[in-house]
């Protein structure tokens, strides 16, 4: 048999051609543009056949009769047994003009060409979109009943199918696949579309929350998903065994799934938190369309919607289909496939393959330079408190990545030693500069900012790392109010002085990133650290306000809720010697993440989980925190004792192991 295929280079088309070529003696002619001739060799390799069995026909879907040369038309006349038309724009986000040109005008040109070569049977691959947003069950023998086809994709798929039904003079069959996803056996897919738009959201949830944490999902209508191998196998079988003209077959999952079920299945495949509670989007149906349209026209609403959709990589049009109202009857398809062994696989059985392939090959993050070098090379990065601990470890990584790395601290000698250490690790070509400054002193901060502006034109990235921590219970601090003043002076006011001094330069350049090193204690409200938590909590609150104010100025902010780290600052507290703390290298990795990815917040799952507990069950959480407060003793310094050595009970050691990184 001889076949002609349009869209043979597409996702479905490539696999259909491969399937057709499995038939003995099959020869496939396929439409391809002249400028794409270089792809032919690769296609033949994919299909695994010689040039004698796959023959390119040069033309263009948008040209009359596909723009195929007259002599080629003459050669093909009466030779083609089956003509498969798959070429189309399968993209909800594509503009209306291009969809009309390909889906409608292209189908008309294809129908005319098929008639010109006197093809035996015309197989038109349409879509369930041809039904529009039909309320209820749409049968295979229904067409004119389609409704709500305002969206360009729905409209063009409906009109192109109408062309085949009304203007085509050849025997014809229409196939309406559902949302086509990757291969059920390999997960292979060529683009992000349909349910794949949810993948980024699920990935974000997995990064933030532990798998056991219940989460909230969005419920809606039913969406129908089928793997590409099922579509190809069904199309091949039906087209060769059921040649009655004028029939339509729904290549769909007989059951389908609600939006919430799909999200839950994909979350399980991704090892993300299970969605136990669903908010039904249909509840918003009582709002009149005119009111919703008016709300969406408001500038703040448009900005928020656009920002969220862009961040998640989801086309805004996807929200239109959350409450999808249509279900699809497929009894004709079921009858045609009976005894063939071809069934639509169940989504839960192959969802993990889809996820694995997406994360390895299609995740948009893969195409972005997420390296530290790609982010900071040649840029000015200031790290306060850079002479030791976390700041030193982070500065070394910035210098190694090619940044103009500036470290500041009070002690000039320590800064000089830190510079030597960084250069030894990053190499002699690294640019490392030191500035002596006391961040807690207003005049010193002014002088530092003035130098930075004069010598470097400001900074591109600011890491507010300098800080002071005091581990002392409130009842031991009644006569030590200065502890709170000193901590606030450095952790809060000091960071603000540097940040507010450098912000005008960032705004002028329309770019800049500020990373404020906060603490996990702010999330867990750690007892015994009231002075420290209050100062860092104030910085967190200021950062949230600033981020909102500068959201349209090109300046971004990240808060790092840092777990407890083994540094010179923790050294005086001897009980930490027997507790599992993060290393400075691990801590600096969190700062690198903040600089590269620029999230609003960087925090551990443990910190976020305890923070949620405070919101959900504050009284119970207070009791738990009080238990840990009584379990861990004050340090000798906090109690005013010299030479005394604090010891931990077995229970306390076990608790610290389980709650690694939390301040006790």
> Residue 47's pLDDT is what?
95
Give dist(CA 266, CA 72) in Å, integer.
Answer: 48
State CA 573 to chain mean position distance. 41
pLDDT of the residue at 160:
95
Q: Please give the Cα distance from 434 to 52 (Å, whole number).
A: 71
Q: State the greatest distance between any 2 C-alpha atoms of the chain, in Å, as a whole number.
A: 103
Give CA–CA dist 283/135, Å, rounded.
Answer: 17
The number of residues making up the chain comes to 664
Q: How confident is the model over 86-116, as pLDDT tens digits?
A: 999 877 667 788 889 989 999 999 999 999 9
Separation in Å, CA 54 to CA 40, 46, 67, 141, 158:
9, 11, 20, 35, 31
SS3 category, 555: strand
Q: Kindly compute the dihedral angle of the four CA atoms of residues 76, 79, 84, 89, in this order, to the nearest 10 degrees.
A: 0
Judge whether 257 counts as a catalytic residue.
Answer: no
Q: What is the DSSP letter of 522?
A: H
Does this model's pTM top 0.75? My answer is no
Helices 152-167 and 106-116, axial angle in degrees (round to 10): 20
d(CA 154, CA 132): 5
What is the full DSSP assignment across 314-348? --GGGGGGTT--EEE--HHHHHHHTTTT--PPPHH
Q: CB neighbours (10 Å) of residue 491?
A: 30
Integer CA distances (angstroms), 239 to 24, 47, 116, 121, 505, in order? 16, 20, 21, 9, 67
Residues 83 and 36: beta-carbon distance below 8 Å: no
Residue 502, number of CB atoms within 10 A of its CB = 22
* Per-residue pLDDT, 656: 52
Residues 117, 74 contacting (CB under 8 angstroms): no
pLDDT tens-digit series, residues 442-501: 999 999 999 999 999 999 999 999 888 776 766 766 778 777 888 889 989 999 999 999
What are 219's two structure tokens? 């419920």
DSSP percent split of the chain into helix, strand, coil, nearest 5: 50, 15, 35
83 φ/ψ angles, rounded to the nearest 5 degrees: -115, 120
pLDDT value of residue 31 = 96
Residue 207 CB neighbours (<10 A): 11
Q: Which residues have CB under 8 Å from 163's CB, separation 6+?
A: 104, 107, 108, 111
Tokens of 267: 């979350």
161: number of Cβ within 10 Å: 24
Strands 257-258 and 222-223: antiparallel
Cβ atoms of 568 and 385 within 8 Å: the answer is no
For residue 381, the cross-strand partners are 405, 461
Collapse the DSSP code of 438 into the 3-class scheme (helix H, G, I; strand E, B; otherwise coil) and give the result.
Answer: coil
Residue 41's alpha-carbon distances to 23, 34, 38, 266, in angstroms, are 21, 14, 7, 37
Residue owning tokens 């399980």? 268
Q: What is residue 664's predicted lDDT score, i.e. its pLDDT?
A: 40
Confirm if 66 and 87 have CB atoms less than 8 A apart.
no
Q: Which residues pair with 173 in a beta bridge?
A: 123, 247
Which residues, 6 or more positions from 185, have their beta carbon under 8 angstroms from its beta carbon? 229, 350, 353
What is the pLDDT, as a whole number, of residue 638? 52
Q: 249: which DSSP letter?
A: E
SS3 state of residue 301: helix
Distinct helix (H) and strand (E) counts, the chain = 26, 22
Tokens of 245: 């003209």
Do residues 490 and 444 touch, judged by C-beta distance below 8 A?
A: no
Dihedral of CA 562/566/572/575: which sign?
positive
Edge to edge, the sheet with strand 172-177 lists 54-58, 27-32, 2-6, 82-85, 121-125, 172-177, 247-251
Q: What single string gives the DSSP state of each residue in 104-135?
A: IIHHHHHHHHHHHTT-SEEEEE--GGGGBS-S
Out of 84, 257, 532, 576, the active site residue is 532
Pick from 393, 415, 408, 388: which is nearest to 571 by CA? 388
- H/E run at residue 97: helix 96-99
pLDDT at site 255: 85
Instruction: Give the SS3 label for residue 593.
Output: helix
- Segments of the chain with pLDDT less than 70: 92-93, 214-220, 275-323, 367-369, 471, 473-474, 476-477, 528-529, 567-581, 605-607, 610-611, 614, 621-664
């Amino acid at each position: 048999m001889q076949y002609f295929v349009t869209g043979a280079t597409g996702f479905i088309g490539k696999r259909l051609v491969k399937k057709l070529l499995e038939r003995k003696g099959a020869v496939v002619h396929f439409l391809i543009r002249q400028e794409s001739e270089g792809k032919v060799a690769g296609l033949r390799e994919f299909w695994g056949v010689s040039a004698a069995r796959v023959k390119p026909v040069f033309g263009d879907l948008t040209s009359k009769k596909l723009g195929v040369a007259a002599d080629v038309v003459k050669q093909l006349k009466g030779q083609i047994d089956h003509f498969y038309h798959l070429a189309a724009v399968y993209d909800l986000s594509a503009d209306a003009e291009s969809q009309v040109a390909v889906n409608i005008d292209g189908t008309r040109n294809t129908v005319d060409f098929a008639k010109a070569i006197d093809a035996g049977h015309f197989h038109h691959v349409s879509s369930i979109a041809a039904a529009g947003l039909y309320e209820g069950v749409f049968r295979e023998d229904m067409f004119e009943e389609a409704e709500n086809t305002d969206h360009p994709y729905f409209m063009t798929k409906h009109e192109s199918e109408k062309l085949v039904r009304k203007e085509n003079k050849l025997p014809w069959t229409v196939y309406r696949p559902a949302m086509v996803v990757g291969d059920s056996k390999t997960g292979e897919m060529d683009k992000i579309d349909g349910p794949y738009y949810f993948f980024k959201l699920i990935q974000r949830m997995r990064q933030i929350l532990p798998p056991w944490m219940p989460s909230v999902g969005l419920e809606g209508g039913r969406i129908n998903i089928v793997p590409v191998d099922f579509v190809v196998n069904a199309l091949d079988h039906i087209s060769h065994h059921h040649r009655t003209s004028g029939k339509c077959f729904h290549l769909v999952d007989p059951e389908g799934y609600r939006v919430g079920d799909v999200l839950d299945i994909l979350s399980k495949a991704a090892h993300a938190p299970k969605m136990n509670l669903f908010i039904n989007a249909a509840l918003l149906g009582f709002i009149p369309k005119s009111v919703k349209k008016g709300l969406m026209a408001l500038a703040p609403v448009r900005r928020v919607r656009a920002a969220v959709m862009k961040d998640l990589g989801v086309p805004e049009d996807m929200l239109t289909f959350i409450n999808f109202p249509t279900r699809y009857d497929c009894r004709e398809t079921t009858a045609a496939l009976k005894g063939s062994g071809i069934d639509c696989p169940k989504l839960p059985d192959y969802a993990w393959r889809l996820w694995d392939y997406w994360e390895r090959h299609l995740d948009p993050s893969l195409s972005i330079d997420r390296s530290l070098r790609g982010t900071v090379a040649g840029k000015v990065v200031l790290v306060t408190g850079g002479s030791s601990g976390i700041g030193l470890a982070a500065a070394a990584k910035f210098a190694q990545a090619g940044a103009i790395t500036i470290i500041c601290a009070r002690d000039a000698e320590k800064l000089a030693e830190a510079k030597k250490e960084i250069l030894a690790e990053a190499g002699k070509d690294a640019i490392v500069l030191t500035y002596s400054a006391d961040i807690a002193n207003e005049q010193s901060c002014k002088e530092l900012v003035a130098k930075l502006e004069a010598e470097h034109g400001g900074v591109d990235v600011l890491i507010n790392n300098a800080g002071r921590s005091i581990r002392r219970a409130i009842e031991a601090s009644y006569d030590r109010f200065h502890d709170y003043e000193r901590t606030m002076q450095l952790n809060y006011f000091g960071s603000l002085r540097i940040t507010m001094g450098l912000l005008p330069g960032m705004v002028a350049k329309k770019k800049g990133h500020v990373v404020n090193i906060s603490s996990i204690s702010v999330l867990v409200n750690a007892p015994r650290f009231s002075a420290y938590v209050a100062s860092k909590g104030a910085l967190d609150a200021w950062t949230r306000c600033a981020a909102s104010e500068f959201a349209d100025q090109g300046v971004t902010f990240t808060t790092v809720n840092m777990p407890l780290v083994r540094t010179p600052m923790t050294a005086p507290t001897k009980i930490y010697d027997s507790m599992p703390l993060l290393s400075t290298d691990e801590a600096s990795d969190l700062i690198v993440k903040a600089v590269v990815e620029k999230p609003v917040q960087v925090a551990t799952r443990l910190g976020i989980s305890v923070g949620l507990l405070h919101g959900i069950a504050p009284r119970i959480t207070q009791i738990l925190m009080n238990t840990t407060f009584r379990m861990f003793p004050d340090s000798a310094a906090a109690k005013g004792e010299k030479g005394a050595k604090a010891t931990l009970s077995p229970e306390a050691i076990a608790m610290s192991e389980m709650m690694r990184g939390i301040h006790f």
